[in-house]
A and B are shown apart, each in its own frame.
Chain A
């Protein structure tokens, strides 16, 4: 076992546990358990809001997968990754104050709460809760596999043991501390990700003998490594641009990100978060992917993309510093998983159980149920991740784009277009998810764009068309919705 690397990681876990205990005090004293457990009582300040958004969004792919691809493809992949800069300011400014104000008017705790009040339809609630549970459950399992592989790779533990450590760590602080613990640990994890990125980038540049010499080494190996088209010239402008939909603006539709846009305390906090979030996401995305490219001349001939990050860290940094830097991908995975875990629990408890199974449940019962549902989901994900079934891997392929296609229009149009109604929302969710799966299976990358683009456009058309066709049928309900959500 490589103790120099393991000790900083252990320290990191200890800090995370302390935060869990700290947050659990709020959970015990809070008057409204659901608001505290699933939303931190809307108390987030600007810095924590920015960090929890960035950390939730930034996952294994930003720290392990992405740099690995950049290593193979070159600067073209960094160009593609920079489409993610938009997530820093777009989500918060577009959902913005309107989402926060509306959510307060109806005391919404989850994204589905908002959709329920906005559309007043059982089917919207059931469809959206089901999409969240199915897609995010599989996304979570995939992240756990990534987390366990990472622990396995630098501790030498078996995969199952690594998975166990990972699962227990996340479960403990999420269960005892709820959303507040998740947001604060996300902040610590975001800070680690930010500084880890800078350290590894600088270390790699020094090891490669400066930027100029790295770039000329790359150009000497294959000139296209420094072109925007990628090593084999397969990155077309249309394909790269289509990532603005997938990882730029489409992120608005991800429930785990959107729910954070109603968790902040004041508009001042939101303003600060806009600035901090943009800078942090910009630095992390640029730094990590650039490191992946720069690693190529320093450590040539790496076959498995996912090992580029751990190997370059151990190559160019002293062991203790590598340990801190390697805590970054760990932090990225954990901060994504903890949010997903809480979100899936909230979909089960708040959106399904309290809406349709037992609306009269006592406060004490809700509390016990929330905690045990989180625990059970955690254990189920663990069981799945030990040997991931094919279905789960298949579902995870759709998790990101599928959720975006499902939710982006019901949320955005729900906020900004008063004529949008339940029929439009249902049509949009079904079209989004359905066409995403169909395109993915039969016509991937249609017209040279990422598969997500057409389903997002189709679901917009479906939303508008069905809303306009059913104006009469929903007239009364819409009046009521306007009263509740729009009037002063």
Chain B
């Protein structure tokens, strides 16, 4: 698209595009941590597992700790990175 298009574009889309990217980054972080803990710690023989609060360590980290961490990251992202914009058109209502 040419230069003029960019200038004519709805300014709210810049914010929207950035936030969509944040969603993609979150999912990638989520995946890497989930995968890393599960198969990094859980691939060995079961007899050699460590345990945390009764759970095998791989499970505790990848399914419980990562889930809580993602809750926190989502909260932080929304609080500090997401911007409020009006959604309605000015001429409506």
A interface residue numbers (CB < 8 A to B) = 75, 78-79, 82-83, 85-86, 88-90, 92-98, 100-101, 104-105, 210-212, 214-215, 219, 223-224, 226-228, 237, 241, 244, 248-249, 265-268, 271, 274-275, 278-279, 282, 286, 416, 418-419, 482, 486-488
Contact = CB atoms under 8 A, between A and B. Distances in A.
Contacts of B54: 210-212, 214-215
Nearest to A278: B74
18 contacts: A79-B38, A86-B30, A101-B87, A104-B87, A104-B89, A228-B58, A237-B39, A244-B27, A267-B83, A271-B82, A274-B74, A275-B74, A275-B78, A278-B74, A279-B71, A282-B71, A416-B20, A418-B1
A430 B80 CA distance: 41
Contacts of A98: 13, 16-17, 20
B9 A486 contact: yes
Contacts of B55: 211, 215
B27 A486 contact: no
- Chain B residues touching A, majority SS: helix
Contacts of B46: 219, 223-224, 226-227
Given A85-B30, A93-B20, A223-B46, A79 B9 contact: no
B59 A75 contact: yes
A97 B15 contact: yes
B17 A237 contact: no
Interface of B: 1, 5, 8-13, 15-17, 19-20, 22-24, 26-27, 30-31, 34-35, 38-39, 42-43, 46-47, 49, 51, 53-56, 58-59, 62-64, 66-67, 70-71, 74-75, 78, 82-89, 92
A117 B67 CA distance: 38
A482 B23 contact: no
Nearest to B44: A227
Given A98-B17, A241-B35, A266 B26 contact: no
Contacts of A248: 27
B11 to A, nearest CB: 6
Contacts of A212: 51, 54
A488 B90 CA distance: 11
Contacts of B13: 98, 101, 486
A182 to B, nearest CB: 21
A487 B56 contact: no
Given A90-B27, A94-B20, A267-B86, 4 more contacts: A97-B87, A101-B12, A211-B53, A215-B55
A144 to B, nearest CB: 32
B20 A274 contact: no
- Chain A residues touching B, majority SS: helix
A281 to B, nearest CB: 10
B46 to A, nearest CB: 4
Contacts of B39: 228, 237
A96 B23 contact: yes
A465 to B, nearest CB: 19
B44 to A, nearest CB: 9
Contacts of A86: 27, 30
B8 A488 contact: yes
A360 to B, nearest CB: 24
Given A215-B56, A228-B38, A100 B87 contact: yes
Nearest to A483: B8
Contacts of A271: 78, 82, 84
B10 A79 contact: no
Contacts of A92: 23
B87 A79 contact: no
B6 to A, nearest CB: 10
B49 A226 contact: yes
Nearest to B84: A267
A90 B31 CA distance: 12
Contact of A488 (B11, B26, B63): B11
Contact of A237 (B15, B24, B35, B58): B35
Contacts of B71: 275, 278-279, 282
A92 B19 CA distance: 10
A12 to B, nearest CB: 28
A82 B70 CA distance: 12
B82 A78 contact: no
B53 to A, nearest CB: 6
Contacts of A237: 35, 38-39
Contacts of B74: 88-89, 274-275, 278
Nearest to A82: B63
B10 to A, nearest CB: 4
Contacts of A223: 46-47
A267 B87 contact: yes
A268 B79 CA distance: 11
